[in-house]
């Protein structure tokens, strides 16, 4: 059977002060009144039945996730006692699902993307399912057409065709420097695609790769998988999961797999509107804009002689007024307010760390 695993961990520190430990970015209802996780779950309608959709996230967010995603089944929640990066989140899903269905084919998604149109998205993912079903040794990834020389994304170097759209991935190029990223962009989408972080594979194939490339992680994850439907589940999860090496699936599996003659890594292009909502400037792209290119992301706003500024509040009743502002980010919450220049948005992550050092967990 076909399954879906949505990874909904991560702290979203670059979206502080709205993103907090109790309500991280994937649960904030700031995209037309819906959360990123809810949108990710709804995109699967007509592709994967609800009873075959899993969400992997921090154990502390179980109640919030079950309340925030209509139709989600609590027994399909995979709770991480602590974050151990994407390899272990995905490996946990494969171990648990594969234990009950050895023939499972799993599509992996993240909970921080805007992808449109959803109908075309489902068609492309269905193509990925078919590839993984036909080729037992195939790991399928989905590639996004680069629009900038981004250094925060990994790149897929494309090789020979597999079918009418899928291509062999010759190599994963993780987060290149700016000069290298420019050469990839100039080479065009026929040569390089952004790594979307979305995959399809057989559970058995991924678990086999883990045994060969990351044997210590594999042993722990399979131990958890065997215990999942037993009374020992909670104790095994709590004792084993935090000890697993923290590493991404890209470094631990996809890079060595692209060099492994026993495995075929395939890229299916996904030429859609794709936005990784990982920062306030990215969020601004989802907002309505006024005649002065101000992005209004919630709350009451009166912007006088203001241009190119993102203004958002988590309190619909709160009024934010500006005069003579340009290219700023202004984010209001009941207990913390952020004001910064757009070109300093990457520094919010550092600011988040300093807030924790100065004020403790109160504002985190």
Same-domain status, 11 and 142: yes
DSSP 315-344: -TT-EEEEES-BSEEEEE-SS-EEEEEGGG
State the Cα–Cα distance between residues 173 and 166, nearest whole angstrom: 18
User: Pick from 261, 276, 291: which residue ends a domain?
Assistant: 276
pLDDT for the residue numbered 152: 84
Whichever domain contains 196, its CATH number is 3.90.550.10
Model-level pTM? 0.94
State the Cα–Cα distance between residues 270 and 195, nearest whole angstrom: 10
Give me the average pLDDT of each 10-residue run along the chain (364 residues): 95 94 93 94 98 97 94 97 96 97 97 95 98 96 93 91 94 87 92 95 98 98 97 97 96 94 96 93 95 93 98 94 98 97 96 96 95
Same-domain status, 298 and 161: no
Same-domain status, 271 and 286: no
User: Pick from 248, 276, 304: which residue ends a domain?
Assistant: 276
List, in order, residues 6 or more apart from 155 with CB less than 8 Å away. 146, 172, 173, 174, 176, 181, 184, 192, 193, 194, 195
State the Cα–Cα distance between residues 46 and 117, nearest whole angstrom: 14
pLDDT for the residue numbered 41: 98
Same-domain status, 232 and 296: no
Same-domain status, 217 and 100: yes
Same-domain status, 222 and 194: yes
Contact present, 23 and 30 (Cβ < 8 Å): no
Same-domain status, 124 and 238: yes
Write the CA distances from 241 to 30, 85, 117, 182, 321, integer angstroms.
32, 11, 37, 39, 48
User: Pick from 276, 296, 324: which residue ends a domain?
Assistant: 276
Domain span including residue 337? 280-363
Number of domains present in the structure of the chain: 2
Write the CA distances from 122 to 32, 110, 116, 270, integer angstroms.
21, 15, 10, 10
Same-domain status, 246 and 287: no
pLDDT for the residue numbered 316: 87
State the Cα–Cα distance between residues 297 and 310, nearest whole angstrom: 7
Same-domain status, 146 and 229: yes
Write the CA distances from 159 to 151, 166, 172, 191, 219, integer angstroms.
22, 10, 12, 8, 33
Same-domain status, 356 and 208: no
Same-domain status, 294 and 272: no
Phi, psi of 48 (to 5 degrees): -130, 125
Same-domain status, 269 and 342: no
**CA-based max dimension of the chain:** 63
Closest-CA residue to 264 (of 193, 169, 173, 197)? 169
């Amino acid at each position: 059977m076909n399954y879906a695993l949505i990874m909904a961990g991560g702290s979203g520190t670059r979206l502080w002060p709205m993103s907090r430990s109790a309500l991280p970015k994937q649960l904030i209802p700031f995209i037309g009144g819906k959360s990123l996780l809810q949108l990710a779950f709804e995109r699967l309608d007509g592709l994967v039945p609800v009873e075959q959709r899993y969400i992997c996230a921090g154990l502390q967010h179980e109640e919030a996730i079950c309340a925030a995603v209509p139709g989600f089944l609590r027994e399909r929640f995979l709770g991480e006692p602590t974050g151990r990066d994407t390899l272990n989140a995905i490996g946990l899903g494969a171990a648990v699902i594969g234990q009950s269905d050895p023939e499972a084919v799993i599509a992996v998604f993240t909970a921080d993307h805007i992808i449109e149109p959803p109908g075309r998205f489902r068609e492309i993912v269905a193509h990925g399912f078919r590839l993984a079903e036909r080729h037992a040794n195939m790991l399928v990834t989905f590639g996004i057409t680069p629009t900038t020389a981004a250094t925060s994304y990994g790149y897929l170097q494309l090789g020979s065709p597999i079918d009418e759209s899928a291509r062999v991935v010759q190599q994963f190029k993780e987060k290149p420097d700016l000069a290298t990223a420019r050469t990839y962009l100039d080479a065009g989408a026929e040569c390089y695609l952004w790594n979307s972080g979305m995959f399809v594979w057989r559970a058995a194939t991924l678990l086999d790769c883990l045994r060969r490339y990351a044997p210590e992680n594999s042993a722990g994850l399979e131990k958890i998988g065997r215990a999942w439907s037993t009374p020992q589940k909670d104790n095994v999860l709590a004792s084993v999961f935090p000890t697993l090496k923290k590493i991404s699936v890209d470094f631990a599996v996809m890079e060595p797999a692209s060099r492994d003659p026993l495995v075929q890594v395939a890229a299916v292009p996904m030429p859609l509107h794709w936005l990784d909502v990982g920062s306030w400037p990215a969020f601004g792209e989802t907002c309505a804009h006024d005649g002065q290119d101000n992005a209004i992301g919630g709350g009451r706003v009166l912007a006088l002689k203001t241009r190119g500024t993102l203004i958002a509040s988590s309190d619909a009743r709160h009024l934010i007024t500006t005069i003579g502002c340009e290219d700023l980010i202004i984010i209001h919450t009941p207990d913390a307010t952020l004001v910064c220049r757009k070109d300093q948005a990457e520094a919010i992550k550092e600011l988040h760390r300093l807030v924790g050092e100065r004020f403790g967990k109160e504002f985190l």
